[in-house]
Structure 1
Amino acid sequence: MESFFVNKLADIGGMVKKEACVEGYADLASAFTKKLERSKQTFLAARTEENAWDFYYNYNILYRLRYKGEEAYLDMTKVEGFLSYFSDFGYSLKKDVVNETFKMLEDKCQFTMDEAAALPESCQFVAKSVISCPVNVSVYAENGTLITELVDGTQSDVTNEYGRFAVVYDSYSGDYEKVICLNSEENVSFKITGVDDGLVAMDFAQAKDAESMVYTFNNVPIKTDAAIYADVKQITEQKIYQIDESGNGELDERPIIVKSDNYVPVDSVVLSETVLKLKEGENAGLKVMINPSNATEQKISWMSANPSIAAITDGKVTAVTQGSTVIYGIAMDDRDKIVSCEVSVVADMGDIPVCEEHSWDDGIITKELTCTERGEKTYTCVICGETKNEEIKATGHQTKEVRNKKDATCKAEGYSGDTYCKDCNKKLNTGQAIAATGKHTWDKGKESKASSCTEKGEKQYICSVCGETKKESLEKISHAYKTTVTKATTSENGSITEKCASCGIVKSSKTIPCVKSATLRTVSYTYNGRAKKPSVTIKDSSGKVVSAHNYTVKYKNNKKIGKASVTIKLQGNYTGTIKKPLKLFPKERLYQERLWHNRKGLL
């Protein structure tokens, strides 16, 4: 039994070992994180009972590695001894951070499965129990029939009509955990037999009235061949179990702790004395302070590593015979919350040194101080064991924070927030209401009606806070004028029109008069061997001369005696072709032609 506590309380040896311990926890947590993800994917792909158990096992190990890793880190960074009188080197801040991590782990990282990943019916049970310690567990039906035997040190897994029963090795704690899952509400009974000296822990979980109830006992000392007896009704209704400590058949009833959803766990345990020196037959009392003070379970289990030297009953130490031993106080709530006191027993008081000057130890906090209440620290002389108490002044509200703060919006009132003390959670000041700002936070707006050249458009804005809307008028856009030319011909007028392509409104329109006449300056020539190119005059229907850039002139056979022609091709604002005849005469013929024309009055 003593070796168990030695392993629990021994210093692992200096900062180097502590740092290695923290690093080891980190490496293990990293490995189990990857392993958990693989087992999760395996379960989601095939939701079998085996895959569900594998996922639960990895999740549970990772949770405890995270928790213990944080504790190891805090232990590594704690400053003790001479240096602690000058500074804690940021330890208090680190402690706050670690405590926040603990709270997060407890609030959000407990193992649950949502409906989307629900277990098959084969994995669902009426009640579940886990028993830890070097013990064998016999499970009996209500009629006394042996259902199964769970043997410590041998992994096994049996499923039958009563449920599932397994022995699972926990690599984190080194224990073989006995896992019992019951299918029905039959009053099954258990016999837990010690195979070695140790501490037994049992958790029995059951859903009751839509609330999860856990019935538990922790840190119950058990010796080889001693036995613990309990059945389902004793656990859940009477809230007791029975123990045969000596193995002679004499049973002693013990209470069971019930943990509901509002259960407050023990955070720490502080012992009033860490060193005692007594003479044979002398008694001394040990006081324990449970933190927090409102913890649901306040009981302590006492144990002496060697009762033949010093015995302990309900905190009362009795010196039996000369020697040294250790008295342990274990929180019934948590097997890891252990305190100890070194006890030395001498033959008579004369053997106890009388101090001319006491040599006080570093002291322990026997009453936690708060912001408004004083605390107490107890020091023990390492020579004679005498104690003295020192009062610790209340700190006052050192660290404050504002809670429930709410910003005012365009329509809703705000709140300046209440001031609280972060240490004791007391409300120091009440905040005030803040009037609504009346100022909307408009978005960039969206065009609800497009503008045109004849009508105004519209744009709508929405307040991103309250959803109110407002509208804005958009100006008309300019006309999109387009110029269209209808070319004039020799018989029809043309036009130049400037018109809006969107609405069709005409900005301007100009008529192009048609071509009325085309005249050659000379219509006949006397042949002289040269090409003849008489000038051309074109007039429109209004009598105006058409500019030369609106047409081209082409001459044909205008160098030979005979008939020639002039082709006028209209262009620009005109279209069409006009042909005019041209004659070239010999010299004699030209004279006669002119004479004839004179007689006719044509020349």
Structure 2
Amino acid sequence: MKKLPRFRQAAMAAAMVLTLLPATALAAEVDTTAGYNGEALPAGPDMTGDVVDVTPENAQYTLDGAYGSIDGKTIRFTAGEYEDVLVLARPTKYEGSNTEYYNMSWTEGNGWFVTDDVPDALEDLTSTITTYKRTVEGVTFTAEEGVVLPGFSAGSGHVYGMAGSPAYDYVRDQEVLSSVNSYYGHNSLVDVTFQGLTLRGGVFIADYSRDAVNSGITFDGCVFLGSEAEMATNGYNGIKMSADSKYFSDITVTNCTFTKYFQAVYIQGVDGAAITNNSIDGTTHNAVALQSSSGNPLKGTVEIAENFIENTQDRAIRVGNALAEFQLTAVNNVMVNAGDTDGQLFKAETLPEGSEVVLENNYWAGRTAEEAVANADIRPENTGIIGGTFLKEITAEYCAAGFVPVEKEDGTFGVCDHALTERTGVKEATCQAEGYTGDLVCSKCGAVLETGSAVAKTAHHYVDGKCTVCGTDDPDYAPEGPDGPTVPSEPDDTTNPGTGDTDSLPVWISLFAAGVALAGAALSGRKKPCGR
């Protein structure tokens, strides 16, 4: 066995000696009713309801459990200037943090290990090097409109400081100047949601401990503002989850926007994720990177779908080494002005037999599948999107053959093939109102494909002098009298007076006399033949 250098041996010996000393010999008694380092504890929020409104003054102390447990609650950040990155799930001295703490010991064969004498209270924490465990579970983080947060961080591992750069132990409320009074933090985030937040920085979660768990972490509708000045800095990410041998499981990033980061989403050690419906504009490196180390090759089911990715200076999607149980579906993504110097937009490192990658129906910045996908054996047969909901406008060039862009009622964008249609708004014409043939509408997306036309009014349908539809009177209706229908009289063609027509008798007598006179005149006008 290789021997340690003399100074390392001396330091280790000192650490072992100090481990046997009471903690009270090294630090003052911990006051769990005050702030850190002797400061006054700010006035706390009302913790009785499901929603807890915090301010810049008490936000971090609330997250630390100073006013009670935050598990199962919604933490809402109210108006004000939040200057420091907010730390999640760190172990603290406060009972509301539900921190578990353990003494440790060291042997040459086992190194540092947790002892069996579990402390019941802080005063029983007697070893110089300790272990803490804390889990934050079922918490949702929201904010009032207009609030901009600097970002969040959470980390697990061996915490120690050094000369000029001390760390801090928030359980024993003291500086950590070296490994001698350091601690191991196992800090877990379980079923935690970041909802509708605006962040000028990012969210960084590191897991370098054995017992920490990070699962069910969701980012929904968040705005990551980024910085043009910092986007070239490696590690300046919108979301960064980093581990060497641990996994981040069931991670969701949806409906978020990222602008000007080194990478938008970086997860090293993924076990199941959904990265969907996001808008990513401007990255120095990849837009989405699912990486791995030798201790955490990719596994689980991962979906990368319906993202609008533009202005990346490297591949849009990068995947590391995977296990056989890894399944990736990356479909209906739009990539514009993106790719590395060779024009590639997707690359996976190693994909063993049994793993599966589906890359169908993406728009690859106008490139062919051969140009866009580095791995020949997983290149798609079809390009162009055939579905999805996008935060940015879709144009015809992004669509697969037979599909067209559409704008949805909620202001988002998508595509459709209009394969299912129906007539809506059909109206029958009546004697009172025009009808309508109805619009031809796509049943899938709601788009109006053909506008209907008006139908002329119908004629009235009269029965017994009234329209049976609207009740309008028939202007030509003749009601039936007691002796039958009353028929309007017609003019008489005869020249003879009707019976009983005494008023016209003098006229007829005059006409008769005139006729006789004319006849007589005719007879007297005839001459007899001569000689007869």
Is TM > 0.5 for Structure 1 vs Structure 2?
no
Q: What TM-score do the two structures reach when normalised by structure 2? A: 0.28
Structure (1 or 2) with the greater helix fraction: 1
TM-score (norm 1): 0.26
Answer with 1 or 2: which has the greater Rg. Answer: 1
Which structure ranks higher in relative contact order (CA pairs < 8 Å, sequence separation ≥ 6)? Answer: 2
Structure ranking higher in strand proportion: 1
